[in-house]
Amino acid sequence: MTNKTFWVSLFALTCLGIYLFVSAPPPLPETSTAQASIPVERLFELVQAENAAVRALWTQEIVGQGKKAGLKFDEHWRDAESEAGPLPALFLRETAKSLEKSRVRISLFLGSDYPISPDNRFEGLQKDKFEQLRQTRQPQFFYMPDIERHTAMFADVAVAEPCVECHNKHEQSPKHDWRLHDIMGATTWMYPAQKVSSEEILQALTVLHDGFRDAYTAYLDKVKTFKKPPAIGDKWPRDGYFLPSIETFMQTVLERTAPHTLPVIGALAAAKGSGSVEAKPHAAAH
């Protein structure tokens, strides 16, 4: 077996392991600095594509269809008396909280120049980069020396009416004339290293899927406290007053993300086998 074939086979099997057994992925090996030769921008593009796919799934299939079926979603969904679920931005926040608990040093947050919460307002260099993003609608990659983090900003575009309606009607929103397809903010990722290894990319994917699972699990735990909880199984809100089980939800997550992610991982594996590890994978869809 050639070195190239070995690496392609190894990473293909590793990817399949993540995608088939994402609920309990095997521990991944520690990575030496010498192995880290892939620009961190490739990692940012990959996790952003995954997050965008799951964000769209949540917005359209859970929140959008859920409201039609009688489910509620609210910013105060965690309050004891609330019988609601997290809005799209709060589902992202739950995912980010899970990432914070992992040993992988990747972080995620959603910021804006017109945020509902002042804590999410961009300042300083982030504000400048966001203004460039708004003008060009292109991702921004930069280094923040004060916190020693490489950073990526991707446009958070209003792709569904629930997002626009929520911000326009919210009493604390500083802006009430949002429209579909406006850039409402930026999904922002941070990582401490300028270069990463294929193993580190797999680690990041693993904890990101853990984050999706944790966020959805938190919602289902809340649903169990409702006076009239929806039936949980293999049906979705588009079918009526239902919610998918964790297994059904995560399977759909895999179906939505695998078409982009697996070819990218394969390209990275092939590039590593050929010695051309900085080859850029397919561009992420934002």
| Cβ–Cβ under 8 Å, residues 270 and 6 | no
Residue 120 located in a structural domain: yes
Residue 50 located in a structural domain: yes
Residue 269 located in a structural domain: yes
Residue 21 located in a structural domain: no
| 3-state DSSP of the chain | CCHHHHHHHHHHHHHHHHHHCCCCCCCCCCCCHHHCCEEHHHHHHHHHHHHHHHHHHHHHHHHHHHHHHCCCECCCCCCCCCCCECCHHHHHHHHHHHHHHCCCCCEEEEEECCCCCHHHECCHHHHHHHHHHHHHCCCEEEEECCCCEEEEEEEEECCCHHHHHHHHHCCCCCCCCCCCCCEEEEEEEEECCCEECHHHHHHHHHHHHHHHHHHHHHHHHHHCCCCCCCEEECCCHHHCCEEECHHHHHHHHHHHHHHHHHHHHHHHHHHHHHCCCCCCCCCCCC
Which residue, 170, 158, 166, is CA-closest to 72?
166
Res 276: pLDDT = 52
Q: How many domains does the chain have?
A: 1
Residue 210 located in a structural domain: yes
* Surface-to-core class of residue 248, CB atoms within 10 Å of its CB (0-12 exposed, 13-18 middle, 19+ buried): middle
Residue 32 located in a structural domain: no
Residue 207 located in a structural domain: yes
Quote the domain boundaries for residue 182.
3-14+40-273
Res 129: pLDDT = 97
Full-model pTM: 0.82
- Residue 158's contacts (CB-CB under 8 Å, 6 or more residues apart) are 164, 178, 179, 180, 181, 182, 183, 184
pLDDT digits (tens, 9 = 90+) for 153-194: 999 988 777 678 878 888 888 899 889 889 999 999 999 999
Average pLDDT of adjacent 10-residue blocks, the chain of 286 residues: 43 49 46 71 96 94 96 94 94 96 95 88 96 96 97 89 80 87 94 94 95 98 97 98 98 93 81 55 37
Residue 25 located in a structural domain: no
Tokens matching residue 201: 């990319």
Query: How far, rounded to the nearest angstrom, does the alpha carbon of residue 31 sit from its chain's CA centroid?
Result: 23
Res 72: pLDDT = 96
Res 195: pLDDT = 96
Could you identify the residue written with the tokens 């600095």? 33
Cα distances (angstroms) measured from residue 197 to each of 63, 204, 262: 36, 11, 16
Could you give phi then psi for residue 159, rounded to 5 degrees? -105, -5
